[in-house]
Structure formats: C-alpha cells, structure tokens
A and B are shown apart, each in its own frame.
Chain A
C-alpha cells in the first residue's frame, strides 16, 4: 500500500529519491530548494538504504560528483535552483556528451543574476534548449503538484537509463515550498554492485574485468569525422525520445474556444482560470506539457484547428511561447502572459489578459 503524507514538494523529491533506491545525492544549498538536502541529511538514508548523501563545495562539484557516481552506473542525482543550475551547465553538457544517465532537479527562482528567492519559470530556455555548450538535449519533466514531484523522480531515472541521457525536473519555488498530500511510492531496493555490473556493465566504469573490453566515458573526440558521427548518434537518440516520450495533460479541451498552454505552477493557476472563464461564459481549455522536452508540439498544433486563439502563461517574459508559436505555425494568434522576478500571476489577471489579447482582437 502506498503511504499518504502531507509534505513540501522539496521533501517529496527527497523522500521519493530514498524510496526509488537512488544511490547518491550530491548537492549545495540554495533557496528555494535547500529542504531537499536538509531532508536527506535528517533521514540519513546511508544508514538504511545505503544511499550516499554529500554536501559538495559548489554546484560545479555536485554535478561532477554526479558524473563520477552515475558514470559507475549508479542512480545519482543533484538538485539546485536557477543560479546553481547555471554553474552546473558545464557538467550537464559533459554528462550529455558522455551519455551518462542521471537526474538534475531545478526548483526555479526568478532571475536573471541572483534575481530573487521567489518562484520563477525563466529557466525554460536553459532547460530545453541547451544552457551548456554543444548540441544536446535533456529529458525535461515539469511537475505541477507535490505528487508529481515525488512521481517524477522514478520516472526521470527510468527515462534517463532507458536512453543513457541526463533528465531534468524543472520545477519552481512555489511547487517546491507548497505542502500537499502525496502518495509515496513503496521502498525499492537499491541495485547491488553485481546487478549494476550486469545491467550497465557494457558502459559503466566499474573496473575492467579480464574478459571484457574496458569502458571509457568521454565526450572528447578530436577527429572531426568521429565527433560528427557521435553527434549523429546523439541526434538519432533524441529523435527516438521525441517519438516515444512526449507527455502532456489536456484539461477541458473538448469544446474550448480558447486554449491556455502552461506548465508547472502556471498550469495550476490556469485551472482556476478555466473556472473563472466558465462563470463568464468563455470556454477555455488547457494543455499542460508534462515533458517540456520533448515538447508536445503535435497536440498543440492540432488544438489550433479548433480554437480561436492560444495564450501561454509562464512566470517568465515569454519563453515556452516560442515553442507554442512554432507548433501552431500561425494558424491562430498565440499570445503570452507572464509575471516574473518572483511574481506569480493571479487567475483574474490571466483571464483579463486572455480577454484583452485574444477576444478583444
């Protein structure tokens, strides 16, 4: 039976990590996600499941510690918030280049720079379009509830190992700090060293046994032809992920005249906007991308056949809206409404914006 608890989003991530049999967490404190490591150090999973929890000297160190452990085929993760993720982008690029599966959690705050400790969603570009150097992609999941904070830990690892690719949970300070009911997964056993060797022995650096080719994890290839070939291989993998792993939720889309597209915290606000719209006789639907990469372009494109206009709602100056516009190909107007710098839009504001930007036209 699944256990029901009232928890903060950040705590749910930490508890889920223990229960999913994660082998190692390396992190560095930053608001609004410090509870992740605080929870883990209080729970001391190294005494129960054997999970390693270590506070690193920086986010740079944490992500490269993840590199080391995940390179050994172990389930390894880190978490941070926007400025810390910026520091990690170096390591993330290396992880992607070397095809090392792992989990990175970004509980976003407003930026740029030190910005604010209040929630934000302005790291969408960084998460979905690179952030670090080179042509790479992360599998990006966007939870909109404490439940999803917990559920996406296991899902992220599943996808990361399936494709040998880093996965990123793109959350925000509001979901991280909010308390909700959450059904926790049952405790999974961590894989033993032997099981890891059996499952991932073809690539993980765990020691070269005499009858086996040695494993090397590197993103370097000085011969251009071979580096290009490696890039083709990565692109083919990304295409496969795009074909198979798109996830989204459709709410009230059936007879909607206007469509909202929003993820995470903004998607929760948009659910209220749907209600307010009904009261005013405006039929509004919501598409909530769950995977931000791969992006649910097709379903958004199709929705454009049935609605008069689309409004994206983000706690940013407008980032995901670019992908929505690309998907819609100009069929209907696509507008953006955002608050940023730590501000969270209210449902009334959003409805107002929809009326002005789409209906008023």
Chain B
C-alpha cells in the first residue's frame, strides 16, 4: 500500500531530484528573507554548473545588495565600483576571449550611475552576459528612489511617491539596449513563481550559450522584489510586483537574434 512508504524510504541520496548547486558556496546569503537576489544567484550558478564552465567563468559583482555576490557564487570574481561592472567585464573579456564573463547588477548600479558603461558595453557588442536585477529601488542604501522606481511609488527619497514631472519617468533601459546592434539577446524575466524561475533560468542559459558562440551581448533583466525597501512581506511584495511592476516592465523576450 502506498501508505506504507515511509519518508525515510524517500529521503535517500539516490532519490534526490533537486539540491543546491555546488557552484554556490555554503555561506548563508546576506539577503533579506524572500529577496529575489537569492534565486537569481542560484539559477545563474546552476547554468554555470550545467554547462560545466565553473573553471572558465569569472563574475563581476556590483555595488548594491549583491556587492557580496562573490561570497556566494563559487567562482573567481572581481568586485567592481558602483556602476562600472560592464567596463570591468569588457576589460577582462577582451584579454580572455575564450572565458565566460558576466556582470550581475542592480537597477541603481546599471541604470543610474553605470548607464554609460552599460550602454557602451552593449553598443560595442561585448561578448558578455549582463544579469540585471530590477527591483525598482536602491535596496542596499535603504530604499531610496532608483531610476526604475514607478510613478507614484514611495521610497525613502520619494516619501510622497515618485513625481514624474519632477523626478522623471522610470527608465526602461532594457528596451533601450535592445535598440543597439551590439546586443544579440535581450529579455525580461522574473523569479517569483516556479514557472517564472524555470523560464528565467532558460534565458540565462541561452545568454551563456550566446557568449560561447561569440554572438554579442546578452542582457537578461530580472524584475524582482525588494520586500524590505517596499516594506511588505515577501509574498505580498511578489503580488505587488505582478500587479504594479509587470504592466510597466512586461515579461518576455524583447530581442533574440
């Protein structure tokens, strides 16, 4: 009878269908409970493991909540100054064209202080992968307005909501870089549901495969939550994200060449 199967019979090494990838270290992530950064880290490292490229991959960590990405990603890494990761990645990739180089950046890092580095790395078609975590806010410094903060959205520097007339509109940098001939693959994903995670991972896999084929720059945006900055529970923040972020930042591929 089915009821006779004991849990101990199931929990055996040969029955493992999912475990943490060895391309993540055993360090406890420094992220808040429920933060999308963790899943984005994991699926990136799962792709590295599945492609068997751990020994050829170098990651560039940004300034932001993921500044310590190198504590969690079990690969060689450089920590870049705020916004400069695409330049660091460019320099490295140019002298090691056969290695895999990626940046992992937040929206403040990538779309505010590092806009020039982002646009020009994309425009040159650097053979790298950019993973862009868009949580609509500056997480690390305490929830200030980001270039991606939605109109009306409250943050610690827009306590009455972002006033677009005064502070400008949220920047859709992903659509922007899709216009540049140097990008070969530009997509927007999320990691809030199992289905979304599987899709996002496929996108990251494709981005790394593109790099292998020297196709140019692959840009994977992940719309994510910042429950601390948004002052919500993780579950509520994911719901809020679907209701408010997705209409402005629609999911799916923007460019795939």
Residues of A within 8 A of B (CB): 23-24, 26, 52, 54, 56-58, 60-62, 64-72, 74, 76, 90-91, 94, 98, 193, 205-210, 214-220, 222
Say yes or no: B88 contacts A71, CB within 8 Å: yes
Residues of A within 8 A of B77 (CB): 205, 214, 216-218
| Given known A72-B95, A214-B76, contact A60–B55 (CB-CB < 8 A) | no
- Interface 1/0s, chain B 73-105, versus A by CB < 8 A? 011111111001001111111111001000000
Which residues of chain A are near B58, meaning CB under 8 Å? 72, 205-207
Ranked nearest first, the 3 interchain pairs of A and B with the lowest CB-CB distance are A68-B91, A65-B91, A68-B92
CB pair A91 B95 closer than 8 Å? no
In Å, the complex CA distance between A58 and B57 comes to 27
Tally of A-B residue pairs with Cβ under 8 A?
129
Instruction: Name the A residues within 8 Å of B93 (CB-CB).
Output: 68
**CB proximity to A under 8 Å, residues B47-65:** 54-58, 60-61
Other contacts beyond A64-B117, A67-B80: 16, CB < 8 A: A56-B90, A57-B119, A61-B117, A65-B88, A68-B91, A69-B92, A70-B91, A72-B92, A72-B95, A90-B81, A98-B78, A207-B75, A214-B74, A214-B75, A216-B78, A218-B77
Offer 21 A-B interface pairs, CB within 8 angstroms, sorted by A. Answer: A26-B91, A57-B117, A61-B117, A62-B87, A64-B87, A65-B87, A65-B94, A67-B84, A74-B95, A90-B84, A94-B80, A94-B81, A98-B79, A207-B58, A207-B75, A207-B76, A207-B99, A208-B74, A217-B77, A218-B70, A218-B78
B90's partner among A23, A68, A209 (CB-CB below 8 A) is: A68
User: In the complex, which residues of chain A have a beta carbon less than 8 angstroms from the beta carbon of B57?
Assistant: 207
A69 B87 Cβ-Cβ under 8 A: no
- Give A208 to B24 CA distance when docked, in angstroms: 13
Interface size on B, residues (CB 8 A): 34
Contact, CB under 8 Å: B87 / A61 = yes
| CB–CB B94/A207 < 8 A | no
**B76 partner residues in chain A, CB cutoff 8 A:** 205-208, 214-216
Q: A33 to B94: give the CA distance in the assembly, Å.
A: 23
A193 to B79, CA, bound (A): 22
Asked if B251 lies at the interface with its beta carbon under 8 angstroms from chain A, I say no
Partner of B55, one of A26, A52, A58, A209: A209
In this assembly, does B197 line the interface, its C-beta being within 8 Å of a C-beta of chain A?
Answer: no
When the two chains form their complex, are residues B80 and A64 in contact, meaning their CB atoms are under 8 A apart? Answer: yes
Beta-carbon contact of B117 and A72 below 8 Å: no
| Complex contact A56–B87 (CB within 8 A) | yes
Q: Which residues of A contact B78 (CB under 8 A)?
A: 67-68, 71, 98, 205, 216-218
Closest CB in chain B relative to A138 CB, distance in Å: 17
